[in-house]
């Protein structure tokens, strides 16, 4: 008879702001080429990124971190999945937030979960195993640079899981990966799965996470598994929501525990690990974010450029590719309501801008490839 282990909830909060596309790129492209501007600056808007980060800090990050600290001071463990982009922005725009994070981490109760350097849809790219593993290692190095140490737990962007995620997590040294409770997992009521040998899978409890987002706290004290919240989504819940949530937790409304307290993890079903996983929109629980033709075309073209950018060995080209894979770029192309701050409000504008940026980037990659090939031929 299969067993089912009763577990208290573990709280994981993700900090992963986007780097916004330059909305003026279509009109500014020629001048930027003539001025030979930095390719990252050509496509992405540093001013917008700063404004976004400051808005998130004011309406979400600061209150959320204060609430987390108040929880950890009472002895409850809390986990944070922090992207390198968040740390770099905090270092530039909010040093006091960064110092607060360091102090909380040094307390021993706030534990850092590793994630990819830039939050993106890499797990949906069929050829991205090495890229994901590399980003996990790079993000771990950035955490160390800022005085933070990552645990042996990893979370992939938007909690996508497939065979590629398994390989990338193992390659980065992670022993545990947090993923989404989805069809194949939820049907078997997973808590922990051990079918992947030395890699443990910890499942986010989607219903509990959504209940926390909505402020429906009744009954959360009976929750098992991981409650996973994105700091960038909480911004639209209002400033008071964070204090209500943290007060509920700190007063014992949820029995928080460590990820890893289970000494003999088991499951009630067979682990289903699909090769190609559709992307779940976390703001809508069971709903799938179904890319339309334009989104899918842009996504597929971007994925195919990965091998070329890596082969060319140009760090800036690789950085641009990673940033083009940000999930926010694709959410902005969707007409459905989305809880994070959209960098581009109109889906048609977002599709047009992404198309122009990708076409320019494809040309840049092709020209670099041709130039290097010609140089190699002359050298021989």
For the segment 108-126, what is each residue's pLDDT rounded down to a tens digit? 788 999 999 998 889 888 8
> What's the rounded Cα separation, in Å, for the pair 25 and 356?
8
Predicted local distance difference test score (pLDDT) of residue 247: 78
Q: Are 307 and 42 in contact (CB under 8 A)?
A: no
Architecture of domain 9-284: Alpha-Beta Barrel (3.20)
Predicted local distance difference test score (pLDDT) of residue 219: 65
Give the CA angle between residues 194, 200, 205 to the nearest 5°: 100
Q: What is the mean pLDDT of residues 41-53?
A: 91
Alpha helices in 73-109 (DSSP H): 84-93, 95-106
> What's the rounded Cα separation, in Å, for the pair 199 and 193?
9
> What's the rounded Cα separation, in Å, for the pair 265 and 189?
13
Examine the pLDDT at 192 and tell me if it is beyond 60: no
Predicted local distance difference test score (pLDDT) of residue 222: 67
> What's the rounded Cα separation, in Å, for the pair 294 and 329?
12
All CATH 3.20.110.20 domain ranges of the chain, comma separated, are 9-284
Q: Are 268 and 4 in contact (CB under 8 A)?
A: yes
Give SS3 for 94: coil
CA 306 to chain centre: 19
Residue 39 phi, psi dihedral angles, 5° rounding = -65, -30
H or E stretch including 204?
A: none
Give SS3 for 128: coil
> What's the rounded Cα separation, in Å, for the pair 17 and 135?
16
Examine the pLDDT at 322 and tell me if it is beyond 90: yes
CA 166 to chain centre: 16
Q: At what angle do helices 25-34 and 347-379 cross, to 10 degrees?
A: 20
> What's the rounded Cα separation, in Å, for the pair 104 and 115?
19
297, 299, 300, 302: CA torsion to nearest 10 = 120
Q: Which of 243, 242, 214, 212 is nearest to 225 (CA)?
A: 212
Give SS3 for 18: coil
Listed in sequence order, the residues at least 6 apart from 27 whose beta carbon sits closer than 8 Å to its beta carbon are none
Examine the pLDDT at 213 and tell me if it is beyond 50: yes
By mean pLDDT, which of 114-123, 181-190, 294-303 is the weakest?
181-190
More confident residue, 126 or 192: 126
Give the CA angle between residues 77, 82, 84 to the nearest 5°: 155
What the block records as the tokens of 346 is 């109109």
Examine the pLDDT at 307 and tell me if it is beyond 80: yes
What the block records as the tokens of 218 is 């009744």
Predicted local distance difference test score (pLDDT) of residue 350: 93
Q: What is the pTM of this model?
A: 0.86
């Amino acid at each position: 008879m299969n067993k089912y282990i009763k577990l208290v909830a573990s709280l994981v909060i993700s900090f992963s702001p986007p780097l916004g596309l330059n909305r003026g790129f279509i009109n500014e492209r020629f001048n930027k080429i003539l001025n030979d501007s930095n390719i990252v600056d050509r496509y992405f808007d540093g001013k917008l990124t700063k404004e976004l980060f400051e808005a998130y800090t004011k309406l979400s990050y600061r209150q959320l971190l204060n609430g987390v600290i108040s929880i950890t001071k009472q002895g409850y463990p809390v986990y944070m999945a922090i992207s390198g982009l968040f740390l770099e922005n905090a270092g530039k725009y909010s040093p006091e937030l960064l110092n607060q994070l360091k102090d909380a981490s040094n307390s021993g109760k706030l534990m850092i979960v590793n994630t990819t350097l830039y939050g993106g849809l890499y797990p949906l790219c069929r050829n991205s195993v090495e890229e994901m593993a590399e980003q996990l290692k790079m993000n771990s190095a950035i955490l160390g640079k800022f005085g933070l140490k990552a645990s042996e737990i990893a979370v992939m962007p938007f909690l996508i899981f497939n065979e590629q995620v398994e390989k990338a997590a193992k390659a980065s040294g992670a022993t545990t990966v947090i993923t989404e409770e989805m069809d194949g997992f939820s049907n078997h009521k997973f808590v922990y799965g051990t079918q992947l040998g030395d890699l443990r899978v910890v499942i986010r409890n989607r219903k509990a996470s959504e209940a926390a987002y909505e402020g429906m706290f009744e009954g959360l004290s009976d929750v098992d598994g991981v409650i996973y919240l994105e700091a960038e989504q909480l911004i639209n819940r209002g400033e008071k929501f964070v204090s209500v949530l943290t007060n509920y937790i700190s007063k014992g409304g949820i029995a928080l525990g460590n990820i890893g307290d289970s000494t003999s993890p088991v499951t009630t079903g067979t682990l289903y690990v699909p090769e190609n996983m559709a992307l779940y929109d976390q703001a809508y629980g069971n709903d799938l974010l179904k890319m339309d033709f334009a989104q899918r075309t842009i996504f597929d073209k971007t994925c195919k450029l990965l091998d070329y950018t890596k082969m060319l060995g140009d760090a800036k080209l690789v950085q641009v590719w990673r940033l083009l894979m940000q999930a926010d770029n694709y959410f902005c192309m969707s007409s459905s309501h989305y809880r994070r701050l959209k960098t581009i409000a109109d889906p048609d504008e977002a599709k047009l801008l992404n198309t122009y940026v990708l076409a320019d980037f494809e040309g840049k990659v092709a020209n670099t490839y041709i130039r290097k090939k010609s140089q190699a031929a002359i050298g021989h």
